[in-house]
Chain A
């Protein structure tokens, strides 16, 4: 039953891809067909994954296809079902949104091609999460990479877009190369490409090989996830894509890296050596902190959101790292807590980041700019978009009682509990990571004060912003679904944690939800002896009671006593948008405090007519250094180019010589084969 539902979703996506390509001359119909099939396929697969994950016993579905050499096998185990669920919730909302969002592109762009790659991307994502054969997995992985490449480069007439797409393609393939080697090492040990034969296999390798495979997987999947320092493609690629694609990219495509790590760390590996967990935790902290610090400096709304994806991947990896460390220490219950924190945050991030990108898409479509400094006052022109964006901003800042708070709270609890698990100095890592998580969360809150206030509040800073129009109904519906998701996953945390039981049961042999839920389902606890409790539902309820009983009646009464007046403008003749605080000004203190990291450069040119006290025009330019590109990838690229130049010598251009190369290679391979 689950298998049939899942497969029918795949078929619907496939049909949608073909149909929209066939309809490319009729943009309106192509749009409806593409979004309709994307929605239908998502709902079918949503039903399948929900059924697979809610079952009491772990649902394993094997769908054997193909021949004995390459089996196209699909297996929906709880972990696959969970990621599939994440995909389908987001994809359904994005599909609804796209009905409205793509309308503006009708006649101007090839919506048939868009629909083709859009459906293909969803299809390949679902297969990446469910493929249980290394070869099949890599095929799905490549289809995903290519369809995302075409979607990123959709507005290919801009050079920036082409460059960003190319960088994505190169990085993505470098990552795939690492994965290929890692899978081959595992396959040579097991003699099969099936994931089922890899179960706990990696831990039986020699320590050196075990570590090698681990690093290959970590960096191979890390490229896709946007792990620092492999993240450089992400802040370029996500903003240039159409916004509905950005939502999918940041919400779910980067999560394929997380899925891959979860599969490897908790399925292929048994109890790993301690250093693996510390590496993951350390990289997680670095990604979280650097992601948010760079986000603070971004004034392109979508680029800001893209940097926050790196931050949130970091938070997820902190949970993974802690879970790995607990596994090494034999603390299955704590490992389950940390794993739940990471997976919960994965879903939460998909939902609030999807929401924020969709909101940004509405704003960009209304104002025709991604630059926050040219927006402003949109809360009056676009009230529903503003409300949805605010919900997403509160959620991503980890503030109670929404969903981001719950997963960050679980992460804190896991890190805090880690201190007592070992006597070695490694235990200091846990509280230090926790305090840096606090810094990250607080900086994220600062960043989202900026990201909400500058575009939506105060006076419009440009004509476009002053005349912005509210997004169309399908777009609002898509955002509203995700906003409700943020609220539901926050308030209903105690109800939702049960979903993780089959996953932790499979990965760690522990069912944690009984220990996590206390006080008749009202409160969440870390499951340790007398750990603290939290009740987002209770907090929300008290807010509602306070609001209904006091705030509303009093606010109405006070309203009668209020007058509307001008803002204090220091006695200048009238306040204009030029007097407003800008995004650059808002982040100035942090730019100065962290100048060692940013190495900011600024240029001020003023023109004078009469005296230097009265400039007639001022040009101000400020930018921060792209540290990783300049200091890490720049030298690397130079080396590669130099090596390629040296290789030129053997490229004679004559076909005879190339045939000779092939012949020599063949002989060498034969000799190698005979010897082996």
Chain B
């Protein structure tokens, strides 16, 4: 029963918080570029509007096109329930650890890439091809960084990983942790489609990846895909901050601690958002064929992290 309440609470938190994070990043970015920006609640208004609208289904599309948004949405949510957000105890930790999180996100990506090719337009295929390429190249770096963390905790279970980090608030200064953090941060940028890998704000054909893949979606399905994308971003950000920087993470979900945990989570998310905004603003988008170099840097950082677990 307690487990069920935890799951429902985390589910609601994921659904509610994800658009806010996207909104905050957008507004902060606008302010840094001396624009006013649409306000942090704009993503909620966008979603609400999209859910009320009708939609156009391409005449060339098959059932894959309608199934994909659901697969993406559910697999992202399931991944979100397997990570520690407020408390170290991941609500759905029994069903899978960090490997399941990565592979569930992979399942969503697989179906989204299929849907991009399903419409028969050139843009969808372009987006699918690039998305699968970049995510494949990001994978080894991500795995090395995660192995470093998992080896430290002796488990791939996120409950155990976060639990072993509690109380060691300055552990992130250890070389292995810093290297692994840097590697994962680069992977996070690639996976969430942020500058310098992809530009979430543009629909310019030469530069886009994720937006090209979902070009044919409209109405409620577009809302599902966008919502899933922001939940994925939240999941990866939370994974990053709670594994490396456990400050304020509660042992369990219950009592007054939960409120405190949510407070800390919001504060840490805000800080990471600021970092992302800064990174996006001072960098230009990379050419597609320069992205592998960035991911190679991430892989090297991951290897360094691994080596430094027993050198230092």
Q: Which A residues contact B (CB, under 8 angstroms)?
A: 377, 379-380, 394, 397-400, 405, 409, 412-413, 416, 419-420, 428, 431-432, 434-439, 441-443, 445-446, 448-449, 452-454, 456-459, 519, 522-523, 528-535, 538-539, 542-543, 546-547, 551, 554-555, 558, 561-570, 575, 577, 579-581, 585-590, 592-593
Instruction: Name the segment of B129-137, B168-176, B244-252 touching the other chain.
Output: B129-137
- Docked-complex contact A533 and B302, CB < 8 angstroms: no
- Within the assembled complex, what's the spacing in Å between the Cα atoms of A533 and B75? 18
- Docked-complex contact A441 and B96, CB < 8 angstroms: no
Of B55, B99, B157, the residue contacting A558 (CB under 8 A) is B55
Ordered nearest first, which 8 A-B pairs have the shortest CB separation?
Answer: A581-B125, A532-B97, A532-B157, A458-B120, A532-B156, A446-B132, A453-B117, A442-B136
Instruction: Name the segment of B36-44, B215-223, B228-236, B258-266 touching the other chain.
Output: B215-223
- Within the assembled complex, what's the spacing in Å between the Cα atoms of A587 and B160? 39
- Docked-complex contact A531 and B155, CB < 8 angstroms: yes
**Given A436-B140, A547-B70, also A405-B103 (CB < 8 A):** yes
- Docked-complex contact A532 and B143, CB < 8 angstroms: no
- Within the assembled complex, what's the spacing in Å between the Cα atoms of A625 and B290? 24
- Within the assembled complex, what's the spacing in Å between the Cα atoms of A563 and B135? 33
Counting CB contacts under 8 A, is B286 at the interface? no
**Given A431-B306, A438-B139, A562-B56, also A569-B157 (CB < 8 A):** no
**Given A399-B110, A457-B118, also A589-B133 (CB < 8 A):** yes
Of B54, B133, B302, the residue contacting A446 (CB under 8 A) is B133
- Within the assembled complex, what's the spacing in Å between the Cα atoms of A399 and B62? 22
- Docked-complex contact A445 and B98, CB < 8 angstroms: no
Counting CB contacts under 8 A, is B142 at the interface? yes
- Docked-complex contact A555 and B143, CB < 8 angstroms: no
How many A-B pairs fall under 8 Å by CB? Answer: 255
- Docked-complex contact A435 and B74, CB < 8 angstroms: no
The minimal Cβ–Cβ distance linking A548 to chain B, given in whole angstroms, is 11
- The residues of B that contact A457 with a CB separation of less than 8 Å are 62, 64, 114, 117-118, 120
Q: Can you report 18 residue pairs joining A to B where beta carbons are below 8 Å apart?
A: A398-B103, A431-B148, A432-B306, A434-B143, A435-B140, A438-B102, A448-B110, A449-B117, A457-B118, A530-B160, A531-B157, A532-B160, A533-B94, A534-B97, A558-B221, A562-B56, A575-B121, A589-B288
- Within the assembled complex, what's the spacing in Å between the Cα atoms of A569 and B22? 30
Of B129, B156, B307, the residue contacting A585 (CB under 8 A) is B129
Of A439, A453, A542, A564, the residue contacting B128 (CB under 8 A) is A453
- Docked-complex contact A568 and B123, CB < 8 angstroms: yes
- Docked-complex contact B95 and A523, CB < 8 angstroms: yes
- Within the assembled complex, what's the spacing in Å between the Cα atoms of A567 and B139? 32
- The residues of A that contact B113 with a CB separation of less than 8 Å are 446, 449, 453
Counting CB contacts under 8 A, is B104 at the interface? yes
Most B CB contacts (10 A, CB to CB) among A435, A528, A530, A590 go to: A435
- Docked-complex contact B59 and A565, CB < 8 angstroms: yes
- The residues of B that contact A561 with a CB separation of less than 8 Å are 53-55, 219-220
Counting CB contacts under 8 A, is B167 at the interface? no
Counting CB contacts under 8 A, is B147 at the interface? yes
**Given A449-B117, A532-B160, also A581-B70 (CB < 8 A):** no
The minimal Cβ–Cβ distance linking B196 to chain A, given in whole angstroms, is 16
With CB as the reference atom, state the residue of chain B lying closest to A522. B94
Counting CB contacts under 8 A, is B182 at the interface? no
Counting CB contacts under 8 A, is B144 at the interface? yes
- Docked-complex contact A453 and B114, CB < 8 angstroms: yes
For B187-228 the 0/1 string (1 means CB < 8 A from A) is 000000000000000000000000000011001110000000
- Docked-complex contact B117 and A587, CB < 8 angstroms: no
- The residues of B that contact A588 with a CB separation of less than 8 Å are 129
Counting CB contacts under 8 A, is B23 at the interface? no
The minimal Cβ–Cβ distance linking B242 to chain A, given in whole angstroms, is 16
Counting CB contacts under 8 A, is B32 at the interface? no
- Docked-complex contact A416 and B78, CB < 8 angstroms: no
Counting CB contacts under 8 A, is B10 at the interface? no
With CB as the reference atom, state the residue of chain A lying closest to B139. A442
The minimal Cβ–Cβ distance linking A25 to chain B, given in whole angstroms, is 45
- Docked-complex contact B70 and A564, CB < 8 angstroms: no
For B36-78 the 0/1 string (1 means CB < 8 A from A) is 0000000000000000011111111011101000100011011
- Docked-complex contact B147 and A435, CB < 8 angstroms: yes
- The residues of A that contact B53 with a CB separation of less than 8 Å are 561
- Docked-complex contact A449 and B114, CB < 8 angstroms: yes
- Docked-complex contact A428 and B57, CB < 8 angstroms: no
With CB as the reference atom, state the residue of chain A lying closest to B70. A551
With CB as the reference atom, state the residue of chain B lying closest to A586. B129
The minimal Cβ–Cβ distance linking A532 to chain B, given in whole angstroms, is 3
Of A439, A522, A533, A563, the residue contacting B157 (CB under 8 A) is A533
Counting CB contacts under 8 A, is B256 at the interface? no
- The residues of A that contact B122 with a CB separation of less than 8 Å are 570, 579-581
- Within the assembled complex, what's the spacing in Å between the Cα atoms of A443 and B307? 26
**Given A380-B62, A420-B151, A567-B121, also A400-B107 (CB < 8 A):** yes
- Docked-complex contact B121 and A579, CB < 8 angstroms: yes
- The residues of A that contact B93 with a CB separation of less than 8 Å are 533
- The residues of A that contact B220 with a CB separation of less than 8 Å are 554, 558, 561
Of A397, A400, A592, the residue contacting B289 (CB under 8 A) is A592
- Within the assembled complex, what's the spacing in Å between the Cα atoms of A457 and B115? 9
- Docked-complex contact B139 and A458, CB < 8 angstroms: no
Counting CB contacts under 8 A, is B85 at the interface? no
**Given A458-B118, A567-B60, A575-B121, also A528-B136 (CB < 8 A):** no
- Within the assembled complex, what's the spacing in Å between the Cα atoms of A562 and B217? 11
- Docked-complex contact A399 and B106, CB < 8 angstroms: yes
With CB as the reference atom, state the residue of chain A lying closest to B306. A431
- Docked-complex contact B155 and A530, CB < 8 angstroms: yes
